[in-house]
Chains A and B, each alone.
Chain A
Amino acid sequence: MGSASLVAAVDRPNLIDSLLRLLDRPARSALELARRPLSATLAPAALGIFLVAAASALAGCISLSGIRLVPRLDVLRAVFESLLVVIPGTTVFAIYLRLRIPARAFLAATALGLLAAGVVATCVLPLMGFIAIVAVKSRTEVPIPLLFVPGLALATVAALSARVIVSLDASRAARWLSRALVFFLGAVFVLRINSALLNIHTWLW
């Protein structure tokens, strides 16, 4: 095919490229993954969770007084808690409201969202290292990398799953469900770290 040779000419397809192509067209990939065995559906999630956890742990090692050996993982925990609380509920309501989204496809969309979150979290790590160097001079009071990396990962999962929902079903109910998904993910995350935010000074040193 013309396009296949074009791909080979533009950039040689390899493992990373095929993974990124999954993320380029999440709705179609979710439908394809949904038809494969459950392990294949959840495989992107495993990789994504590893990447998110590793990036958050690295960011958690950054503190004002230099590098901390034992990372703070409260925020990462809040991310997974909010996913665990919100995703099952959204799946249930997507089926109950008779949306045209197969349950397995929604699971696959979440798995792809986690993979995208892993990629995004890895992409911002250099910036976080830069901030860690600059922060020593600026004496900023907010532990940006600690909050930002897991928060950004959660936002990526939310945005990608919401995009898949809206792509697969153009109805009004689907739009509201995607908004509710984003809202509840963010709200549970913020409320979960809320108590930790109040005594933020313990995070800095």
Chain B
Amino acid sequence: MKALSEPLSPFVPWSSEDRTPLKEVEASGPTGQPLLVDLLRDPAAVTERLLDPQRVQAVVLGSVGIIAACTSFFAAAATVARGKDAWWGSAGLTSLNVLMSLAASLGPIYATSILLAARVPLARLVAALLASAATGSLLLAGLASPLYLLTRLNSEWAGPLMLTSAFLLAGGAAGARVHRLLSLMAEQVTRKALGDSAATLSGEDAFRVGILARISWMVLAFTLALGFWAFNALG
């Protein structure tokens, strides 16, 4: 791989440290990542946070904040794109709607985990669900610009189609993230319990964790859809 560099003005005298490859400058940075970056990039790091009793509360609070901020931003962009000025109503209603749907879906998911003989401790389940919902809402905020663009271009077809596909994409990513977080968490706990750092989940356990992940995705999608239908937050 060639050394990363950037074009420099030949009229200005540059010292040798200005000419070192960029990769070395970057590598000397701090290693600890903020929660926001971990949520997007690194499920394993999020799992470590979930399993650490001192850090799990920060994950919960941070995720709630991220969900509220990102869904409000998305709703505000969608409202402004349609030429309405009163964006704060829909912004507040959307984040409230998502948080209420998350709260409503917790009970059924916990019950499912008991039925499946794969009970997740409630605090960790809450944190895992919130973390994956936060990943989804971060992506939703990222999709605000195409939504804005397409709604401006054509608010009858392109805008609503983009709105739907933004929710589908963010929902898909959040579902994949729930699956990954639950599997990683089960694996870590099993490893610690067995004292074997190379242990993996048995096929049967992985199967039940997979069912739990899919059911949580489904229940959450159901409550979210109900919430958006009832409150008409983006209408």
Residues of A within 8 A of B (CB): 1, 3-4, 6-7, 10, 21, 24-28, 31-32, 34-35, 81, 85-86, 88-93, 95-96, 98, 100, 102-103, 105, 163-164, 167-170, 184, 187-188, 191-192, 194
Which residues in B have their C-beta under 8 angstroms from that of A26?
Answer: 6
Chain A residues in 8 Å Cβ range of B153: 191
Whether the pair A96, B40 counts as a contact (CB closer than 8 A) is: yes
Question: CB distance A168 to B40 under 8 Å?
Answer: no
Collect the chain B residues with CB atoms within 8 Å of residue A96's CB.
40-41, 138-139, 142, 173
B25 touches A31 (CB 8 A): yes
CB–CB B4/A168 < 8 A: yes
- Residues A168 and B138 in contact in the complex (CB < 8 Å), given A3-B15, A89-B145, A191-B153: no
1/0 per residue, CB under 8 A from A, across B53-82: the answer is 000000000000000000001000100100
Rounded to whole angstroms, the CA-CA distance of A102 and B221 in the bound complex is: 32
In the complex the two chains form, is B26's CB within 8 Å of A102's CB? yes
With both chains docked as a complex, state the minimum distance between the C-beta of B131 and any C-beta of chain A, in angstroms: 14
For B152, give its contact among A25, A95, A167, A191 (CB under 8 Å). Answer: A191
Known contacts A6-B13, A170-B4; decide if A89 and B141 are in contact (CB<8 Å).
yes
Contact indicator A92/B142 (Cβ below 8 Å): yes
Complex contacts, B141 vs chain A, CB 8 Å: 88-89, 92
How many angstroms from the CA of A3 to the CA of B14 in the assembled complex? 7
Residues in chain A near residue B230, CB distance under 8 A: none
A170–B139 CB distance below 8 A? no
Q: Which of B29-37, B111-119, B183-191, B203-211 contacts A (4 or more CB under 8 A)?
A: B29-37
Q: How far is the CA of A3 from the CA of B144 in the complex (A)?
A: 47
In the complex, what distance in Å separates the CA atom of A90 from the CA atom of B145?
9
Chain B residues with Cβ below 8 Å from A1 are 15
Q: Judging by beta carbons under 8 Å apart, are A24 and B12 in contact?
A: yes
Q: How far is the CB of B16 from chain A (nearest CB, A)?
A: 8
C-alpha gap A81/B16 in the complex (Å):
40
Q: Which A residues lie within 8 Å of B144 (CB)? A: 85, 88-89
CB distance from A83 to the nearest CB of B (A): 10
Total number of B residues with any Cβ neighbor in A under 8 Å: 39
Q: Is B104 an interface residue (CB 8 A)?
A: no
Mask, B133-149, CB within 8 Å of A = 1, is 00000110111111011
B10 to chain A, nearest CB (A): 11
Interface of B is mostly: helix
Mostly, the A contact residues are: helix
CA A31 – CA B5 in complex, angstroms? 13
A-B contact count (CB 8 A): 102
Which 7 pairs from chain A and chain B are nearest by CB?
Answer: A92-B142, A167-B6, A89-B142, A191-B152, A95-B40, A3-B15, A27-B6
Q: How far is the CA of A80 from the CA of B196 in the complex (A)?
A: 54
Q: With a CB–CB cut-off of 8 A, which chain A residues contact B40?
A: 92, 95-96
Which one, A21, A32, A91, A98, contacts B12 given CB within 8 A?
A21
Contacts of A90 in B (CB 8 A): 142, 145
B202 at interface, CB cutoff 8 A? no
Closest to B149 in A: A187
> B34, B138, B141: which has the most chain A beta carbons within 10 Å?
B138
Query: Which B residues touch A93, using CB under 8 A?
Result: 142
Residues of chain B with a CB closer than 8 A to A27's CB? 6, 22
Q: Separation in Å of the A39 CB from the closest CB of chain B? A: 17
Measured CB to CB, the closest approach of chain B to A105, in angstroms, equals 8
Taking CB as reference atom, which chain A residue is nearest B20?
A28
- CB pair A167–B149 under 8 Å, yes or no, is no
User: Which residues from chain B contact A6 at a C-beta distance below 8 Å?
Assistant: 13
Q: In the complex, which residues of chain B have a beta carbon less than 8 angstroms from the beta carbon of A91?
A: 142
Name the residue in B1, B16, B37 with the highest tally of chain A Cβ atoms < 10 Å from its Cβ.
B37
Q: Kindly identify which residue among B26, B34, B41, B142 contacts A168, using a CB–CB cutoff of 8 Å.
A: B26
The answer on a CB contact under 8 Å between B8 and A24 is yes
10 examples of A-B residue contacts, CB within 8 angstroms: A25-B18, A27-B6, A28-B6, A28-B25, A85-B148, A88-B73, A102-B29, A102-B37, A167-B22, A188-B145
